[in-house]
């Protein structure tokens, strides 16, 4: 039986590469589009080694309409798109807002313009819990009101959600699922693909693993006076392989024409962990002690956020299966392949 073709934009990125692996394992034919502006071509080798097959890929920018049309013409009969491709550094977005709006919003608009000409209706969007801002109540559900973003990056996610909702209402040729991620961590159990931060890591876990590996002198924990059990920020940390599997389930739902034309799902574990809990879980799961210090809180940091995952469980049939310790151990295993 021929595999249904699913385009994965940003398919060489952290989450995208894991989604490619899980799509193939589930019987789909992923097709990678990536311009490697925020990833490395070596990731393709890792994917190939895991799957023992070469996945088609195109080195193009999703905002390039002509190049997109060429890919869709060449591949034929594409059944759906998972759109990961985006700039993603919150701090950088504050410094370079125009670049973020042009890339993140512009690429989506180009895709939506080209898709109908090739009969592509199914679209999974990589959104973010940043759309909830600083929530009034925890955990957040899909009905929790969205709030003004604290960064241009977060605002691009909200704008893209609005664009997809408006286009889906205006046409009969788009079905979309918006997946609002919480905090993806970890690496593939093979340690052949994982998170590849460019420069100084913006996220907690790569900073932890780089500190453990001696690349960073120390880990700074930003603030310990929040209204949380130990004073440090609370986040919902989801293992990246679990997150990748959520995309497979979403694609299946779209292809089977289940659900509404536009659906929103939180993708997290349903549990919150403080930064210090993550640090101690890493030390416990790896046997490596971390050099960390407490620093001042960062402007714009949300004190606490974690997901209510009831809707994803009941309607998508999706639940995470990996523990925080397992995810952190996989991140450490991956880090060791980078430094050895």
The H-assigned helical ranges of 54-195 are: 65-75, 90-95, 97-100, 106-114, 152-170
DSSP character string of 276-326 = HHHHHHHHHHH-----EEEEPPPTT--SB--B--HHIIIII-------HHH
Residue that has been written with the tokens 């603030």 in this structure: 223
The CA distance from 25 to 190, in Å, is 14
Neighbouring CB atoms inside 10 A of 319's CB total 13
Q: What is the CA radius of gyration of the chain?
A: 19
Supply the DSSP string of 202-226, one letter for each residue. Answer: SSHHHHHHHHHTTSSS-EEEE-S-S
57 is catalytic: no
Among candidate residues 153, 226, 237, 306, the one labeled active-site is 153
Quote the distance between the C-alpha of residue 8 and its chain's center.
12
Active site residues: 153
């Amino acid at each position: 039986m021929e595999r249904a073709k699913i385009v994965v934009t940003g398919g060489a990125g952290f989450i995208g590469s894991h989604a490619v692996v899980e799509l193939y394992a589930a019987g789909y034919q992923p097709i990678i589009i990536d311009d490697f502006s925020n990833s490395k071509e070596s990731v393709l080798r890792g994917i190939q080694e895991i799957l023992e097959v070469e996945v088609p890929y195109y080195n193009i920018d999703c905002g390039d309409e002509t190049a997109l049309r060429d890919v869709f013409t060449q591949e034929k009969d594409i059944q759906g798109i998972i759109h990961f491709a985006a700039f993603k550094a919150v701090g950088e977005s504050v410094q370079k807002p125009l670049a973020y709006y042009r890339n993140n919003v512009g690429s989506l608009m180009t895709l939506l313009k080209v898709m109908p000409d090739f009969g592509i209706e199914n679209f999974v969007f990589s959104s973010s819990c940043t759309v909830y801002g600083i929530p009034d109540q925890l955990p957040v559900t899909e009905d929790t009101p969205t709030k003004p973003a604290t960064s241009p990056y977060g605002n691009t996610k909200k704008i893209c959600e609005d664009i997809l909702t408006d286009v889906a209402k205006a046409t009969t040729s788009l079905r979309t699922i918006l997946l609002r991620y919480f905090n993806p961590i970890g690496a593939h159990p093979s340690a052949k693909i994982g998170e590849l931060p460019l420069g100084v890591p913006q996220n907690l876990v790569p900073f932890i693993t780089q500190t453990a590996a001696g690349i960073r002198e120390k880990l700074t924990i930003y603030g310990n006076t929040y209204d949380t059990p130990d004073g440090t920020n609370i986040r919902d940390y989801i293992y990246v392989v679990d997150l990748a599997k959520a995309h497979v389930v979403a694609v299946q739902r779209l292809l089977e024409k289940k659900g509404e034309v536009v659906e929103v799902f939180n993708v997290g574990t349903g549990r919150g962990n403080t930064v210090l809990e993550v640090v101690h879980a890493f030390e416990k799961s790896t046997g490596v002690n971390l050099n960390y210090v407490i620093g001042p809180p960062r402007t714009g940091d949300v004190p606490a956020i974690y997901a209510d995952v009831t809707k994803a469980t009941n309607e998508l049939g999706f639940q995470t299966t990996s523990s925080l310790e397992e995810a952190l151990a996989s991140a450490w295993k991956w880090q060791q392949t980078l430094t050895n």
